[in-house]
Amino acid sequence: MNFISHPAFRIAFYLVLIVSFSKCQAPKLEADTIITNAKIFQSDIAPFATTLIIKDGKILEIGEAGLKDKYTSGNILDMGGRVILPGFIDTHVHLMSGANNLLSVQLRDAKTQEEFINRIGEYAKTLPEGEWIIGGDWDHENWGGEWPQSQWIDSISMKNPVWINRLDGHMSLANSLAMELAGISKWEAVVGGEMVRDRRGKLTGLFRDNAMSKIEQSVPIPSREVEMKQLKNALTYLNSHGVTTVHDMGLLRNLELYEQARKDSMLSVRIYSFLPLGDVMAANEKRNTFIQDEFLKMGGLKGFVDGSLGSHTAAFFKPFTDSPSDSGFFITPPKVLESSIRLADSLHFQLAIHAIGTKANHTILNIFETLDSSNKDRRLRIEHAQHLIPQDFNRFAELNVIPSMQPYHAIDDGRWAEKVIGPERAKGTYAFNSLLQAESKLAFGSDWFVAPAIPIMGIYAAVTRRTLDGAHPEGWVPSQKITLEEAIKCYTINGAYAGFDEMNKGSLETGKFADFVILSQDIFNIESYKIKEVQIDQTWVDGKMVFKRE
């Protein structure tokens, strides 16, 4: 019998052909964008890939060059070998304050008293009578450390109230008109703050921390139209520096603005909103009606232990080196802070507490340690964690407390910090390396408006610790330098973790948001001191290019 002609053989033969043919003709897939010939740093997984496939705002696949052959559609972009990083996550900004300050008088780099005064005078000439001059971001260390006074500027701002902040936001200067409008005629004691007087007992116009509210309540709130323009300008600024997500330390009233911007499809930066700890009940009520999605969410509360080093309001165990009778102070009494934290924790808010001085950081760690241990994934945060005693390094990891830090501050404060705290305490300042070695989840941000929201500069600061004045070419406290890869992770996957977002962002992996940046240079193959020269060529959010350098 000729079995080849047998019907059963023929059926089997044709089935093999059909299966083989179907395998050879596997259907091609569709994509929106195919990025090829790139050097893609994925963050917390295998170091580099070359091809990125994007569909519906997310990463469909990532891998080697052959991936693109699987797809029949998609805009193919050849990167010419350029480096791609996950989008930067800035874990600490004051979004609307930064937005306002972008358009206000610029005093951060005023080097002399004369320049400080002249800039305010020239800016006042551009404003209608009665309009407030706010923002500024001045730094008295630029002209030798003398505090500014209202008498410096009264004669050039007679028709405009002035309320300009020191760059750390913990001290502001008012002119006489602003104090008059606020109804301040004499000195009074303020818990957790100070209305500064001169040697004769006269008000100087300087207000520190809690005393600042004496003026702030008189500053008019901008119209919604003005705020929307400010927000749009701020988002453009952030995108231009590769920022794709921010953790905003803002106000309850900002939420309506953000919601409207989201409805209008205006958000090109994802926002995680933190509200003041003192507004815990209002925040809890708002949370029940707040529409949260991939671009906008709330769920954190921010409190304060102390102030800042530059304003001498940080709380230390020992006095300041340059002021032996002063060791700073608590803005919030520890018992009041602990009570507020317990209430917020019981309502399942994430807590982010500002602490600068050694005593402030030690105190908040002690409070965190007393919280109910049954909640294992609070992801408690200490914002700044700026000055630490050595025995507190390990406690961050042990208590699962995230040090949310701003590396730019290290190269800024490093110009003058040892004058204020001495060289021994400086060893525990911005202790990036010690905290990473202790296995804490170190996350990075800018504290914008206090510092520029430029992650590349933050990475440069963490890797080199070269102060802005060039006085420390090998790095200020060089033992606390970290590697480039570590610094990038602090701005990406660790930042995502700090916001409970590591499943959606922070690394370039299948299924995550297509948020990434394309760099002008190969940051992995240049000298560390050249990192600050790297620019953002493109920023992509949700699979769309939101910034392109001209």
pTM comes to 0.87
Specify the higher pLDDT residue, 26 or 90: 90
Q: How many CB atoms lie within 10 A of CB 549?
A: 11
Model pLDDT for residues 159-202, shown as the tens digit of each residue: 999 999 898 888 999 999 999 999 987 778 888 889 999 888 89
**pLDDT surpasses 90 at 325:** yes
Model pLDDT for residues 415-425, shown as the tens digit of each residue: 999 999 999 99
* DSSP designation for 476: S
Residues 498-510: what's their mean pLDDT? 97
Residue by residue, DSSP assigns 344-360 as HHHTT-EEEEEE-SHHH
pLDDT at position 12: 54
What are the beta bridge partners of residue 166?
138
- Cα angle 382, 388, 389; round to 5: 140
Q: Are strands 380-384 and 350-355 parallel, antiparallel or unpaired?
A: parallel
Residues 223-242: what's their mean pLDDT? 95
Assigned token pair, 31: 């994509």
Q: Are 161 and 133 in contact (CB under 8 A)?
A: yes
Q: Are strands 58-63 and 51-55 parallel, antiparallel or unpaired?
A: antiparallel
Residues 230-252: what's their mean pLDDT? 97
Residue with the two structure tokens 């998609």: 74
* Mean pLDDT of all residues belonging to the chain: 92
Which pLDDT band holds residue 540 (cuts at 50, 70, 90)? very high
pLDDT at position 1: 46
**pLDDT surpasses 50 at 22:** no
Residues 387-398: what's their mean pLDDT? 97
Residues 398 and 256: their CA atoms lie apart, in Å, by 38
**pLDDT surpasses 80 at 529:** yes
Assigned token pair, 176: 């006489």
pLDDT at position 363: 98
Q: How many CB atoms lie within 10 A of CB 367?
A: 19
**pLDDT surpasses 80 at 331:** yes
Domains and CATH numbers, the chain: 95-216 (3.10.310.70)
pLDDT at position 372: 83
Q: Are 244 and 492 in contact (CB under 8 A)?
A: no
Assigned token pair, 393: 């390094």
Residues 115 and 204: their CA atoms lie apart, in Å, by 19
**pLDDT surpasses 80 at 6:** no
Classify residue 123 by burial, with Cβ atoms within 10 Å: 0-12, 13-18, 19+. buried
